[in-house]
Homo-oligomer: A and B are copies of this chain.
């Protein structure tokens, strides 16, 4: 199995989204240049990205949409549903629990955990909320391998430790904290400041440019 580069992985979801829309519209085939136009990419980029999923197309015709959807889902591991736990039912946690789009990514949050006793036993967005102490018990019982970390930064490492102890193999970290975990654990950061820094830089560069032009 060839490996897929990170930039390609980050572009595949928008192709997939576009393909699903096209399929709903009754389209049967699509070309790489078409996908590129619909996702704001260069044609050569889309062509290369699709190639990395190992699907083959027909010159002049393009790709069969159902097969291409399957190929991308397969490449991303979104073809079978992954059960996940969420820890931290604050504002962000609730936003994640309520987000209906995860199903399209093969992700299902089957349970949530929080330290606040007032929440225990209740549901949010049809997901039951358990005490944090139950995490270590329930993870192996429900065979969950993915943990979503949405707790305050101060609790992040402590909860990550619990997740590792429980047998979680992947952590989606919505906390700005750098986690120290065993090497075998996969950690994916989802840090808004990372994205905001790019935006701020571009905006302040633009403002600096405008001032220069005015002067």
Contacts and interface: CB of A to CB of B under 8 A. Distances in A.
Q: How often does this chain occur in the complex, in copies?
A: 2
Given A99-B92, A106-B200, A186-B203, A194 B13 contact: yes
Contacts of A91: 94-95, 98-99
Interface in A174-209: 176, 178, 186, 188-208
Contacts of A196: 13, 105, 107, 172, 188
A38 interface: yes
Contact of A200 (B77, B90, B176, B207): B77
- Range for the number of chain A residues in contact with chain B: 35 or more
A145 B77 contact: no
A157 interface: no
A82 interface: yes
Contacts of A101: 176, 192-193
